Structure formats: C-alpha cells, structure tokens
Amino acid sequence: MMRRLRLTTPAGDRVTGRLVTPAAAGPLGIVLAHGAGAGQDHPWMTAMRDALAAGGVTVLTFNYPYTEAGRKAPDRLERLLATHLAAAERIRVYVDGLVLAGKSMGGRIGSHLAAGGTVTVAGLVYFGYPLVPLGRGQPRDTEHLDRIAAPQLFCAGTRDRLSPLELVRPLVARLPQASLVVVEGGDHSFHVPQGVGRSQQEVLVELAAQTVAWIGGLGR
C-alpha cells in the first residue's frame, strides 16, 4: 500500500513523501533518499523503492526542498539534513527501527545525519556513494563515516567514476562494520553494457534483494 505524506522541517520547508508498506512488513523500515539530479519519482527511485518493498520492507522516499520547488541546484547541507531528519522521524511512526539508504548524494546526506548523532539507525546503505565529486579529481573527506556505529553497506559498479572501486575498497576495509557489493559493468546508476546480458531493472532488483537480505541480518 502506498500513501502520500507531507513532511515539514523545523524551518518550515514542506515536501512530499511516498510511503510504501508491504502487507507483511518486517520491523525495520528504509528511508530511501534521491540523488542530486532527480527526485523521488525518477524511474530509478521508483524501481528501487518497489523492489525493496517487494522484499517485505517498508520504504519512505521524499523530495529535498530544491527538488520539490523544481530547482536544479541542491540546497545547502544544513537544509538537506533537516529534511532528511524529518523523513527519518516520520517513518518511525510506522516501523520499529530505521535504515538510511540513498542513491549517490542521498546516501551521503544520510551518512552525515547518522554521524551527527541526531538519529539512531540500524544500518546505512549507499547506492553509489559519491566519493569523487562530478568534474573534480579530489576525493571527498570521509572521516565522518568513522563516527557511525551502525553497519554500512556500499554498492558500487565497476564503471562508476564517482565511486571508483580503487577508493571504495580501502574505505570499506577501514570501517569496522562495512560491506561491499560490486556490480560488474555497472556505472553510477548501475547501467550495465548490453553484452552483460542484464538490464538495469534486473540489476536494481538484484541489488534490492541483496539489500533486503543484508537488512535481515542486522542485529543478529
């Protein structure tokens, strides 16, 4: 079942959310945040949301204020964090525990929220953590990830220039509770070459299944 929600931040920003609650949902829910270039209704987001929900997980997507207003440039970090927190607090009405997940920028903002200690999470999932900003060669600082006590799952494609494996692998090795899923041939959105024999939709369904299985192991 899907329901449309309105989320309001302390600063007065109002954005829309989409909550999907499977019939036999487990105790943990996912806040799935969108990337910098597209909102919650982008086909990538809806495909991942529906695949996660099909695995029995309650999922909440939402728009950041700039996306809600139809702007292209992302908001400042503080505003993104406030909206992300509003989504995290809202889903807790429906679930017992929380996993923060996101595509690219959405995963990065979730990691800053978890590292700040304002919300307790059972785990974090990054679908293409943007280690290297678009158009730049210098990797982002990731020291805040060391302050996250919860397990972290990184999903990266072998052709992802923003999340290159030569940087992701040592990062995952550095973090005590981090795991890595590698998508052979995948780019930043997990498109794979035609010769691989899988469509992007099939890749996303597989990633969602791996994520659901990983979530099922949290706390054991």
- pLDDT reading at 219 higher than 80: no
| 63-85 residue pLDDT tens | 999 999 999 999 999 999 999 99
Q: Where are the domains of the chain?
A: 12-216
- Radius of gyration for the alpha carbons in the chain, expressed in angstroms and rounded: 16
pLDDT at 220 over 60: no
Please state, in angstroms and rounded to a whole number, the distance separating the CA atoms of residues 51 and 208: 6
Neighbours of 66 (CB within 10 A): 20
What mean pLDDT, rounded, does the chain reach?
95
Confidence band of 197 (pLDDT split at 50, 70, 90): confident
> Which pLDDT score is estimated for 117?
92
Residue 168, CA atoms < 13 Å, CB-side half-sphere: 25
Question: What was the pLDDT predicted at 145?
Answer: 98
For residue 135, is pLDDT > 90? no
Confidence label for 196 from pLDDT (cuts 50, 70 and 90) = confident
Say if residue 128's pLDDT is above 60. yes
CATH code for 12-216? 3.40.50.1820
Tell me which residue of 96, 73, 77 sits closest to 85, measured CA to CA. Answer: 77
pTM exceeds 0.85 for this model: yes
